[in-house]
Amino acid sequence: MAGKNPYMKETAPDPPKTAYRIRFLPMDETVEVDPANLPDRVAGHPGSILQTALDAGISIGYACGGVCACSTCHIIVQEGVESIPDGTDSEVDMLEKAPGLQLDSRLACQAVPDGSCDLVVEVPSWNRNLVQEDHG
């Protein structure tokens, strides 16, 4: 299931305007994000952390196809959360179902950094997808 969640009323945040880096833990992989070359993969909002991770080969589960209809892409933003707009009501509602919820928890499909700073993101062990599925 890829596309748009028909139950969400909120609009997608703007994609990043400037280049930045995301360091993914615990795999300790850093991805350079160039707003002029955002991934083509449709998984979450354009420029989302989920889209960036998947394009870089970093495994994050996303059972709903990245449309904010589950909490499987739950991540913890350890640094740089200020560069991501606040979660929408739909995202907050879904996050409440995620295990291991923390103050800086986000859904990777909804979190779109603006590029104002680098990020450090933890992918919890229960959200690392060991089997790749095609949601397209």
Encode pLDDT of 31-51 as tens digits: 999 999 987 767 899 999 999
Calculate the alpha carbon distances from 79 to 11, 89, 103, 136 in Å. 25, 22, 12, 31
Tens of pLDDT along 43-96? 899 999 999 999 999 989 999 989 999 999 999 999 999 999 999 999 999 999
Q: Which CATH class is domain 20-127?
A: alpha beta
Higher pLDDT, 90 or 2: 90
Tens of pLDDT along 101-128? 999 999 999 999 999 999 999 999 876 5
Dihedral of the alpha carbons of 32, 52, 45, 60, in degrees to the nearest 10 = -150
Q: What does the pLDDT read at residue 6?
A: 55
Q: What does the pLDDT read at residue 132?
A: 47
What residue spans define the domains of the chain?
Answer: 20-127
| Confidence (pTM) | 0.86
Tens of pLDDT along 18-29? 999 999 999 999
Helix (H) or strand (E) holding 33: strand 29-33
Q: What does the pLDDT read at residue 7?
A: 56
